Structure formats: C-alpha cells, structure tokens
Structure 1
Amino acid sequence: MAQIYISLGSNVNREHNLRAGLTALIKYFPNYQHSSVYESEAVGFNGSNFYNSVLGATTQMPLQEVCHLLKQIELENGRTRNDKKFSPRTLDLDLLFYDDVICEQPAQLPRDEITKNAFVLQPLAEIAPSFIHPVSQQSIASIWQAYNNPQQKLWKVELSLL
C-alpha cells in the first residue's frame, strides 16, 4: 500500500467543484483523511480566491494509474487540457506524494509547490505532520513551522464538503 497525498483547489464555482472533486476521490480512496478547507488569494495571476484542501489516503494503484485518475477527475469537472499554468481552475488535483518516490514522470514527486505555497503546506501539515519529505528529510510539521512567506495569506473556511 502506498501512502498518497493529493491537493485539491478551485476558484471557479469553488464550493461545488471542491465538493465534486472530493466526492470523486473518496470513491477510489475510501479510507482517507481530509484537511480543513482554506481560502487563499490566487498566486501567479490576478483572479478570484481559491478554496484548497489536502486528502491523504493509501492505495494499491500504481503511480501512473493515480496520475491518470486525477487528470480524468479534473476533466470530468470542467478542466480543459489547454489551461494555462497560472489561470482560473474549476478543479485542480495535484499528487503531492506517492510514498517516498522522487521522480519527474509521470508527475513531479514530491510536488515542488509543497514547500513554496501555504495553501498546500498548511492543510498538508494538518493531516500529515509527521510525514517525512523524501528530499529534505524533514517532517511536514517542521517545514510548515519554518515556512515564512507573509505575502501568501490563508484562512480557514468553515465548509462542510460531504
């Protein structure tokens, strides 16, 4: 069984799309943990605020299959393959970790944004504080505690997705 962590984000009809993404993921990963939902400003472009969260689960699916599944769920929820990197998103699902795998294909693992963006790191630290980042060899809690980017504002949203 592989331990996986997936970030969820949306800034287009965000409550609906985050709920749809989470519901779809739970069908494939029924034994899961889900962080609180956080609201953050768009990073890298001017746009509506995002809702973000992180789901943790275990799976027997191979890495490539998990990556394909995430892309399929995005497409089923209005995402198009032509979306620019920094643009509004109906649903953004990013695989953050697949056990301690380090690779660039079929996805960048661990995901580079983990240590750069509060909207990924804080919800991840909430559900996986003792998980060890395979590159830095630090716990997620330690990385979050040392995080310092006052330009990224983030606040918890009281939102029941299920």
Structure 2
Amino acid sequence: MITTYIGIGSNIEPEKHVKAAIDELKLLGSITQISTVYEAEPVGFLSNNFFNLVAELEVTCSLSELAARLRAIELKWGRLPDAQKNQDRTLDLDILLYGDVISNNDPKLPREDLFKFAFAILPLVELNPDLIVPGTKTTISEIWNHFTHNQSLKPALINLRS
C-alpha cells in the first residue's frame, strides 16, 4: 500500500462535487483521513470561492494509474477536458504526495502547491504535521510556519457524512 495525499477543490456546486470526490476516492483505495473542508478565495482570478480539502488515501495502484483515474473522475463530474489554469472547476483532484516519490514528470511530485498555497498546506498540516516532504528535510508544519499567509481560509459548513 502507498500513502497518497489528494487535494480536492471545487467552486461550481462545491458541496455536491466535494462529496462526489470523497465517494469516488473510496473506490480507489482506503481513505484513512479527511481534513477540514476550507472555503478559500480563488487565486489568480475573480470568481466564486472554492471548497478545498485533502484526503489521505491508501492505494495499491501505480502513480500513473492513479493520475489517470483521478483525471477520469474529474471529467465524469463535469470538468472540461481543455480546462485552463485559473478557471472555475466542478472538480479538481491533485496528487500532492505519493509515498516518498519525487518526480519531475507529470505529475510533478511533491506538488508545488505544497509550497505555494494555503489551501493545500493547511489541510495537510491538519492530517500529518510531522510529515517530511520528500526531497526536503522539512516537515509540512515547518512549511506552514514559514509560509506567508496571503489567502483567506475559513472552515466551510459542509457535512461530508450525508
């Protein structure tokens, strides 16, 4: 089993799509933890706020298979095949970490979001603050403690159990 951390985001019917993402991830492996769902302002464009969270998932599939399956889930739930960066999303599923894999290919790991965006860092701190980010000697909580908090995050009022 490989422990992977998946970033989940949506700003189009976000409650519906976040719940759908959790249900779909359960079909890929065993979800061991889910962070708080945070409401976050979009970064780089003006639009509706996003719901963001991170799920810790135990999987047996390869990295390439996981990436393909996450892409298929995004498309199933209405993401446009040619979606651009800084655009509204029904569902965005990003592999933040996949075990201790470091990759410069697609998907790049560890994902750069772990060093750039509060919506990726804070939920991971919540799940595993002492996790050392592969390729660094730094824990995720150390990254958070040195991070310039330039994005407003607040817990979203969403019940993932229903």
Say how many residue pairs are matched. 161
Secondary structure at 2:73's aligned position in 1? helix
Counterpart amino acid of residue 39 in structure 1: E
Partner of 1:22: 22
Contact 2:31 2:55 (C-alpha < 8 Å) held by counterparts = no
Unaligned stretches of 5+ in structure 1? none
CA RMSD of aligned residues (A): 1.1
Deviations 1:2-22 (A, max 9, x none): 110000000000100111011
Partner of 2:11: 11
Partner of 2:155: 156
Unaligned stretches of 5+ in structure 2? none
Task: Give the TM-score normalised by the residue count of structure 2.
Answer: 0.95
Counterpart amino acid of residue 36 in structure 1: T
Task: Give the TM-score normalised by the residue count of structure 1.
Answer: 0.95
How far residue 44 of structure 1 moved from its aligned partner, in angstroms, is: 0.8
How far residue 117 of structure 1 moved from its aligned partner, in angstroms, is: 0.3
Secondary structure at 1:5's aligned position in 2? strand
Counterpart amino acid of residue 151 in structure 2: Q
Paired-residue identity, %: 37
Deviations 1:101-122 (A, max 9, x none): 1112230100001111001100
Contact 1:26 1:32 (C-alpha < 8 Å) held by counterparts = no
Question: CA distance change for structure 1 residues 30 and 3 in 2, over 3 Å: closer, same or farther?
Answer: closer
- Aligned 1:23-102 pairs, distance under 5 A: 23-102=23-102
Partner of 2:126: 126
